[in-house]
Structures are given as structure tokens and as C-alpha cells.
A = this chain, B = another copy of it.
Amino acid sequence: MDKTDLKILNALQTDARISLKSLADQCFISSPAISARITRLKKNGIIRDYQANLNYEKLNYHIKAYIQLQLDPAKKERFYPFVTTVPNILECDCVTGEYSQILKVVFESTQVLDEFVNRLQKFGKTSTQIVFSTSVTNRGLKLPDDQDIKSDND
């Protein structure tokens, strides 16, 4: 995991569709070398995938919300199939604190969100926070590329 790898990761976080040649020019090495590095980074699981970031409001998903859930331990088994199946759940984390799960969701309207919350309450007590506005939108982590770092599996 040297400076070149970090430069590649930063560039791919900013624009995942950048060409190998463009990356090669920025890193002052050849395109085959870039290609080999990206293959390695992906095989090591450092690069998970590449995804287009969409503006969901323009696609009529006007409501974004965070839902906190006190997941009933007895219903844990049925919860994981549930969260992976509902496409409106963009993220789901098991966390410390009074509520054990945080879900990030998008819906067409508050009505549909309400229906979803009702379904979710089968799994435990919920607390919903609707998003007014977003100042930082799901951005990538800018890595310091002026020094090497050690990674778990190089």
C-alpha cells in the first residue's frame, strides 16, 4: 500500500469511471501497472465495488430518513433477511446505545415511510428522524497520499 495505491484509490473515489490511461498519467507509471494494482486492490477487498451516485429526489424518492430500532433479540434471525430484501434500506448498522440498529432509508413520501415504519415495529421499538437537508452527501474518504500506510493484507 504505497503512495501510488493511495493516489489510485483517491482518484477512483472521486471518479470511478476514470480511464486507466488517465490514472497512469497522474501516477507517472504505465497503464498495465495501474491495471495490475487495481486488480490487486480489488482482490484484497480494499476496493469493494464501483457505484453510480444518484439524486434520489429527482427520481421521486423525496423522503430520506434515519430510523433507530431496538431490535428484539428473539427476532434477530428474521431481521437480516428483511433488511437485505427491502430495497429502500440503503444502509443498516448495528450500533452501541439505547437503539441497536440504525437504518438509512429513502421513500416516495412520508405515507410510504409510515407504512414501512409500521412493518419495522414488528421487530421492536423505533425512533424516526426525517432528513431536512444534506450538507455532506455520502462522500468517499480522502486518503492521505503523501506517505505509505500499512494495510491488513498487502
* B16 A16 Cβ-Cβ under 8 A: yes
Choose among B93, B133, B143 the residue that contacts A64 (Cβ–Cβ < 8 A).
B93
CB of A144 to closest CB in B, whole Å = 9
CB of A117 to closest CB in B, whole Å = 13
Chain B binder among A24-32, A43-51, A118-126: A43-51
Contacts known (A141-B90, A141-B106); A83 close to B45, Cβ less than 8 A: no
Is A2 engaged at the interface, CB distance under 8 Å to the other chain? no
Please give the count of copies of this chain that the complex contains: 2
Choose among B50, B136, B137 the residue that contacts A50 (Cβ–Cβ < 8 A).
B50
Choose among B88, B92, B150 the residue that contacts A60 (Cβ–Cβ < 8 A).
B150
- The complex places the Cα of A130 from the Cα of B55 at a distance, in Å, of 28
* B102 A129 Cβ-Cβ under 8 A: yes
Which chain A residues have a beta carbon within 8 Å of chain B's beta carbons? 1, 9, 12-17, 44-61, 64-66, 80, 83-84, 87-97, 99, 102-103, 106, 127, 129-143, 149-153
Q: Give the 4 A-B CB pairs with smallest separation, nearest first.
A: A12-B52, A16-B50, A92-B136, A95-B129
